[in-house]
Amino acid sequence: MTKAISMDTLLSTWVDCPSLSSIRVSELELDSRRVQSGTTFVALIGHVVDGRKFIPAAIQQGANAVIAQACGEHSHGTVDIIEDVPVVYIEALDKCLSAIASKLYPYPEMALIGVTGTNGKTTITQLIAQWMDLVGSSAAVMGTTGNGFLANLKEAANTTGNAVEIQKTLASLAEQNAKYTALEVSSHGLIQGRVKALSFAAGVFTNLSRDHLDYHGTMEEYANAKRMLFTAHQCEQAIINVDDAVGAAWAKQLPNALAVSLKPNSEFEQAVFANHIAYAESGISIEFDGKFGDGTLCAPLIGEFNAANLMLALTTLLSLGFDKQTLLATAAKLQPVLGRMELFQTVGKAKVVVDYAHTPDALEKVLQALRVHCQGELWAILGCGGDRDAGKRPMMANIAERLGDKVVLTDDNPRSEDPAQIMKDMLAGLSNPAQAIVQHDRFKALSYALENAASQDIILLAGKGHEDYQILNSGTIHYSDRESAMQLLGLSS
């Protein structure tokens, strides 16, 4: 339960405002529409919208005070009074807000594990939480598929929420006796200061490949944003995938780096590495060695990228002091993550695999993993999101054509863009565009594939994974690849 503190105490690190000692702050809110009587409204200058425009609306809703970002006419430390409500202006509020929120929403005695990288964040955070539960600890997650304990995840709007949401959620999880929380930490969240006040018992880097260039501009800037988890935060253990070129470079620069590799290691002094990996349809077996000694890890996941995810999760837990033999003994009970290489099958029909792969690198790895298990033809059904990096569209289509046998192009989340233009961009990446099937409706795309695929074929339905919505120009509608697969295969949900 949040305890109210005085406004001058809340802001004492940044401004001296003893005149506001009588204002009690018990709830911070960035969305003016959610302000209620007694709520303190936070008005940030956002990347799209200036939250200060909504100060009058928040006051009308009952805000008891406003903390606003200083800029131009309102200098740092200025206190305006609007309809008897104080408005305090703070310079660079977006960078201070994480620390301000941490004063109101503390989470004592709970350790944080931050996971960053292009692909694998959701799987690794959930593997860590699953594993902790299996060995008797209490762990929660925050990220793409939701926030909370795995048995009761609450939907999240973004991979990494705003600074207030993050602190509020962490405080709530601590009250529910979570001993650890594993967070997906996005590049946006890092560069925008949403996690600025957080300290991490361990930080994990998965990999870096093309994504979010519509925001960061260059791969170098994208990498710099990810690197902030290890350089701009207290991060006691840095668990780094050195099979990734960026990770290998970072591991040589970070003094607390623990290198993780799927290959025998001779380059890094502090490392956990695989000596042998066996892949089967029933799962993965990894013989490893290194800093924590040797062992064999067996888990019911498939694909080389999941071997990397398992090794990173295992190394993180070992670095936090969890017992190796107990972890290995429980690994067979780990489960694939919702919408990540999730298999749907019924007798006499092709297998359908739903996966969140929405970057070129992720799509390539998923198709390569499925090829090993495919006795017939490998189908790839995919689309690309609108209002996002258009440069990856031909790349995605080319990967599907090169690594799959049949390609079906469909809509992802077109958002405000014309789906026909997105499709045109994807078709430009194909050597033989006439051989690709174009079907904008995702349900009909999967239906076509199942009607035309043989029973020994595998159909990859890529891009949306766990999502149960589709964002169109006309608005958001309910749609789920998982539900489509179950319906068309006659499986109960």
Positions at the binding site for meso-2,6-diaminopimelate: 388, 412-415, 463, 467
Q: Which two tokens stand for residue 211?
A: 């994504």
CA distance 86 to 78: 10
User: Binding site for ATP: what residues are annotated?
Assistant: 117-123
Question: Measured on CA atoms in the order 80, 84, 88, 93, is the torsion positive or negative?
Answer: negative
Neighbours of 269 (CB within 10 A): 8
Cβ neighbors of 69 (< 8 A, separation 6 or more) are 43, 44, 45, 51, 52, 89, 90, 91, 92, 93, 94
Cβ neighbors of 244 (< 8 A, separation 6 or more) are 117, 205, 206, 207, 208
Write the DSSP assignment of 13-37 as a string of letters: TT---GGGTT-EE--EES-GGG--T
User: Binding site: what residues are annotated?
Assistant: 30, 32, 117-123, 158-160, 186, 192, 194, 388, 412-415, 463, 467
CA distance 486 to 466: 13
Angle at 261 (CA atoms; ends 260, 265), nearest 5 degrees = 100
CA distance 487 to 493: 8
Q: Which two tokens stand for residue 451?
A: 């009607």
Neighbours of 17 (CB within 10 A): 20
- Bridging pattern class, strands 295-299 and 342-344: unpaired
* H helix intervals, 135-235: 163-175, 187-191, 213-216, 219-231
Rounded to 5 degrees, what are φ and ψ at 256? Answer: -105, 20
